[in-house]
Amino acid sequence: MAETDSSIIIKKVKKGAHGHHGGAWKIAYADFVTAMMAFFLLLWLITAASPEQKEGIADYFSPPNISETTSGSGGVLAGTAHDAHGAKTATEAPPEHANLQQAGYTSAQGKEAQTDVRSTEDRAFHSAAVSIKQAWDALPEITTMSDNLLIEETEDGLDIMIVNQDGRPMFAEGSKYPLEHTRAALAAMAPILERLPNQISISGHTAAGQLYGNPRYGTWELSSDRATTTRAILSEFGLSADRFHSVVGRSTEDPYFPNDPRLPANERVKVTVLHTAPPVPMGMKP
């Protein structure tokens, strides 16, 4: 039997691949995980922060607000503040506090109102301090006297001090009249202080160990006269007369450096922008 040539045909069948499902879900999942991580990080930061730090962050994002009204208590917010907790009442209260409870006022709300006013006032004081320093920097005659001009925020308010330094006095020796650069510094302060609603206190101070030729004119008279002259200059350049709370001479009784009352820097005039009184609770007469 004759052999015949035969062709062998091999067929390869290609199976269809699965269709592409896309990767959009991966991006959405990644965004979700990132958002959750940021959320839990925020919760952790809020839990770890102290109340003071939270208040500082809130103050940073709140612009300074200087109220120009003189109504109410004569201070920022006109002696009032909004309450975030609503009215609260107590089941029992002493008779003298019945009117406060009827008005929905509690001690917690009172503290919160005082805190709100003080926080707003602190921001206003900080803004005023910056403005005063800028005004001083713009005066070429007091450029070399920057160490004689001090601004400090204290429990009483904002202290602005004009102090003598060794070899650089701000007042003529034994005189109630300030030198010309001191007068320029006071003149620059007056319009800025006028924009604040707070009362102003002025005190004069002298250093210990000084001798005076007139036995009837000493540290008490000199410190009082310098405080009075300072008040007059501030009034001359725009600070209203009704803004002054007190003008006193302190002699050597309150040295800036108690350990060395003879230092020239103890001889100074201090202008204090006073904190306003706490707001009067509703239903309570001042």
pLDDT band of 81, cuts 50, 70, 90: very low
Q: What does R_g of the chain's alpha carbons equal in angstroms?
A: 35
What is the sign of the dihedral through the CA atoms of 57, 61, 63 and 65?
negative
- 149 CB burial (10 A radius; 0-12, 13-18, 19+): buried
To which H or E segment does residue 126 belong?
Answer: helix 107-137
Calpha distance 135→129 (Å, rounded): 10
Q: What is the pLDDT of residues 88-121, one digit of tens each?
A: 444 444 454 445 444 454 555 555 556 666 778 8
Look at 190 and 25; give whichever has higher pLDDT: 190
pLDDT at residue number 185 = 95
Q: Cite the beta strand spans of the chain per DSSP E.
A: 149-153, 157-163, 200-205, 244-249, 268-274
pLDDT at residue number 276 = 85
Q: What is the pLDDT of residues 235-271, one digit of tens each?
A: 999 999 999 999 999 999 999 999 999 999 999 999 9
What average pLDDT does the structure give for the chain? 78
Q: What is the mean pLDDT of residues 36-61?
A: 78
pLDDT at residue number 12 = 59
pLDDT at residue number 3 = 52
pLDDT at residue number 259 = 94
For the chain, the distance separating the N- and C-terminal CA atoms, rounded to the nearest angstrom, is 135
Calpha distance 2→117 (Å, rounded): 118
pLDDT at residue number 175 = 92
pLDDT at residue number 183 = 95
Measure Cα distances from 68 to 100, 196, 202, 235, 267 in Å.
Answer: 29, 7, 21, 18, 33
Q: What is the mean pLDDT of residues 193-197?
A: 95
Look at 234 and 90; give whichever has higher pLDDT: 234
User: What are the structure tokens assigned to 104, written together?
Assistant: 């929905």
Task: List, in order of start, the domains of the chain with CATH numbers.
Answer: 115-274 (3.30.1330.60)
**Per-residue DSSP letter, 32:** H
Q: Percentage of residues in the chain with pLDDT exceeding 70? A: 68
What is the sign of the dihedral through the CA atoms of 178, 184, 188 and 190?
positive
pTM of the model: 0.59
pLDDT at residue number 5 = 57
Q: What is the pLDDT of residues 118-156, one digit of tens each?
A: 778 889 999 999 999 999 999 888 878 888 999 999 989
Q: What is the mean pLDDT of residues 169-179?
A: 92
**Sheet order of strands, 157-163 included:** 149-153, 157-163, 268-274, 200-205, 244-249
Which amino acid, residue 3?
A: E
pLDDT at residue number 114 = 61
Measure Cα distances from 152 to 26, 128, 155 in Å.
Answer: 57, 12, 10
